[in-house]
Amino acid sequence: MVESEIKVRFCETDALGHVNNTSYFIYLEQARVEFFENLGSSMAMSRWPFILGHIQCDFLQQAYFNQKLTIRTGVAGIGNKSFRLRQDILDAINGVPVGRSESVMVYFDFREQQSVPIPGEWVKKLEEYRVEPVANR
């Protein structure tokens, strides 16, 4: 798994004093970017081959301003044209789970506007980061 660190900013909290639910998706996106950088992917948008097809997040604990979070990202499954990412959001100090996410990334041809099979070299890279999928809810 690839680990990313996040420090909660004040603007990411809401009137209840905890991190707003929409902020978690920003954290997950940042961790996905770091995951792809770790795989050696070009971050040039002209060569970017993925779209987010689905995402879900379970909120397990509240998070607060100035809290440090660790997001662990790994590959939960690989299909022909897409793969699933598992992301665990943890308190960086004590490791307590704060959230859990699973998303589907689609290999996509932007010129043709359609999904295409994942090239073999990408499958090999993704295989190196295999983890168990999120447990059934």
- Collapsing DSSP states into helix, strand and coil, what is residue 76? strand
Query: 2-127: what CATH class?
Result: alpha beta
Strand 2-7 to 97-109 pairing: unpaired
Q: Which of 103, 78, 66 is nearest to 88 (CA)?
A: 103
Instruction: Give the model's pLDDT for residue 61.
Output: 97
Q: pLDDT (tens digit, 0 to 9) for every residue of the chain, 137 residues total?
A: 999 999 999 999 999 999 999 999 999 999 999 999 998 876 777 778 999 999 999 999 999 999 999 999 999 999 999 999 999 999 999 999 999 999 999 999 999 999 999 999 999 999 999 998 776 55
51 and 80 Cβ atoms separated by less than 8 Å: no
Instruction: Give the model's pLDDT for residue 136.
Output: 57
Strand 97-109 to 82-91 pairing: antiparallel
